[in-house]
Structure 1
């Protein structure tokens, strides 16, 4: 019974897995310690280096892939893990004693190979009966040696202890000297000779005191790691709750969709012949909505699963690292602890520096809003309350004929031939204009005074912008440019933030773009008669039909407004592609040759630039598409138009930029 207890006490010091090298799966032989605190046999690491990069200065850990820098003689100069070596020796010896192999042990003090009956703990030798007697007859020093019988070792009364634990490391520079002093300045253990030669002016500390300080630092970092582990576990629990909330909303949304669909089907069945087509349409819409809902739900689940997987991996890695640190702190000598202080603190610091992955609150939002024209629409983000939304039929100057005057005109562009086709206003009283002929971008500073001339246009050299065709500016002055098939987003300093390809492929060429107050991005495709709606990061929200799509587009109050070019129409659709109005512009102005730019004032009034004969004009429409009148005449070659933050109208007029103000 005593033997079993002894085995448990010995083997509980460290698990069997920790006594085995993960490469060769045998018990450690000359274990070496990597920077990541994982240990492997010296020979295994030498063979590993040969397989990775024999001449390289780095060695990649096969367990965690962390890299260790090799110095001096390479693998041979890595720190020895004396604690593991001692444990392997102790466990191996104790197993032999417990398994009844003690009777096979021979005397290590003589050459007669007599059976050992005891062990001298001071000499670290097994002794036969004669050698044990000889110990007693020797000098006074040997008479004081501690000798225990094999029976005492086997019963557990005495536990075998490796001499490696008492071995004092030698100085690598002075092999005859023990390492007995810690240099705080150099953060290393040194011998007395090293102190005299190289460290006399440094701060020195005794080994026990230095080791205790190191342990205290490690304990503090362990506490921080434990706190982070708790935070990760809490985050995982909160994410599970959030996932359940999403599941509930997903189920309720599907129920609402199906309930509404079934209600409409019941009504339609009362007029069987007349509304069969309507029933099929609603069923198809239901399936599309359910399919879209399921697709969105699956995408959201992937985000949840990715976050959970990342956090669980972090928890596992933290547990493993803390276990390794604990094992090392419990088993290593003060010399080893001080030698490995930087590695220990670095590993623990890496753990405390990472933050848990969080699931955004908006990821749980999913709902369904009914509509009279169709089943309804999915709601995937918070929308302004009805009282906060601007009415599309808001009265005011939109129903009053206006008068505008030219405030200033900007010419003097540095290029000989220019075609200023697009303009976008920034918040700092500057405008950006695009010369579509040279694909050049200029900035123009406006003045508040009507009589003071604006600054000379300055050409911008923007890295990453080579073939600009259309531009827009966000509320926070980010520049968006349609550059070939891609949309590129730049910050205020015109540095590229990110880019995305909005089209479906080579057959889908974008021709215009626009931004709304929420920084949603709309991209129009003339050849495909469609518009793609995107989040600020470029991710696709949906594609919607846009009949007769042209080269100019604007956004206002959840509506998309564009001109159709040769068909001479002003068209408005909502964010789901439902037609709001389509106006024939020929009936508004007989000289209308080709409608160009379109923009909206702060109250929703619509302004359209029209190429005409002999000159161009600017037309004014109400928010619901009713023609009010021509507000600007004799505007040569008007193309893109926009409003400044002061309410002035900027017109990209071919060879110049014209700025008008309301009088």
Structure 2
């Protein structure tokens, strides 16, 4: 039973790993192509012979990559020594198993239970003498070779140790082992090759043991880079999935916007049609009323005329001469009405009313399809000055959930709060009380030099203030403070806190003085600390557990993980030249927004990068000197721009 199971395992190994993809048989003289796929030499030779063009390249039937055929032909291709050894070993093991099976085997062709005295190596089956004639009579097996089972028993096969390295011989000097590797020619050579064809100064050769060590190290380094590439692939795959989902959402939103626009325009048309109909009805009623008045007037006139005519006719028939003459003045007076009798004419022009309908929806498209993300200036507030709502150096900016915007003025050491449209609400100044409550004023006086700000999802405002991080609510009421801590076992320079960023449950703080970035819980306890060896004033946290910061002096945009391992380090460009980055901001999809400048006031813009630091596009231009940026609840980008705050909306 055990021998049969081993035989099955060997067959599976052979089918899965030792069969040529072309002929589907066990490898014979396997040759390896440049793509590292191996095939039988005869199979490759047949493939080349069937090619119509006399090309010197052979195409791998597995991956379709091309391999240049050496000058010596297919025979000169690299032999797959491992496959050769493995095929030999499998063959020998099968022979050993065949011997073990034949010792107690019965005939596998009939059900009579006869001893399997004979064996067909082609079918790998034991057969009895009764079945031998039938086996050789059938057309499909008539060419098979039948041998006595004893021949397998007499064979002495010694298993090959695959762990041993078989030293191949030189193809030109067949008795010499290959012991050197010529770096110049990229081939294995023997001693004779080294002293003849490879002896010139153009050839550099090294012992195989030394070359293979360097080769393995080089391969390991490259394989490590492959692992890094796989990590980047996973990151990009996540970004692509996010972008794909975002596309679906945007498509749904676009369809919804079009439908809403359709309904809105239809409502407009309906309203205009209603107004126009009402005007038509009003004019029609007015004119119809005039026609009604004319008819009534004419009818009254005719009724009176009829009455006069009837009365006069009756008098003329019935009265005598004296009565008629006596009534003559009255008769003639009534007959004077004939001169006054006037009927209103039919005003035919009033009978016409029509509508010249205008093209309410113009001939242009209902809307423009935007294939790329565009931003436009939505709002701007503030000006240069020291008053409320004015700035001397608007440096930090953040947004609360209700849309309110908080801004730090580094020159005035002031925190100011504005509505989403830029209306001034209140401020906290350095050591000032103002109209604040006395208890609050005492806390305000602790505000020394606010630099950057960040707001978390619970509307807690975190402010870097030299050596401390101050926490306020959305009305700028002081809540608490904490001092970022690092390893105090060694002498450290004085702390100078600058950049700050938050995510759902952490706060990251950049310390300009100590050249470190620390990560804390929302309560202030230290979680991690990493040295950036650079001076940074602006900092962001991505949803990929990364810290992104800028280095103005070195013109670098840098990304590290929470353990300080560098993910990327790139140099932003502005009009093809290295630019100085300031504020940095991360979107939900991992993309990064960076404010850059050339050093000259006005030559600035906000750029967008992907999560791996590759430039995507320019988002906005036209700044004076942009610094910190923040997202509003509506998804707008809010930029602190020296003397003002600019709000850009995504179209």
Task: Report which of the two structures shows the higher radius of gyration computed on alpha carbons.
Answer: 2
What TM-score, normalized by structure 1, do the two folds share?
0.39
Q: What is the TM-score when the length of structure 2 is the normalising length?
A: 0.39
More RCO (CA 8 Å, sep 6+):
1
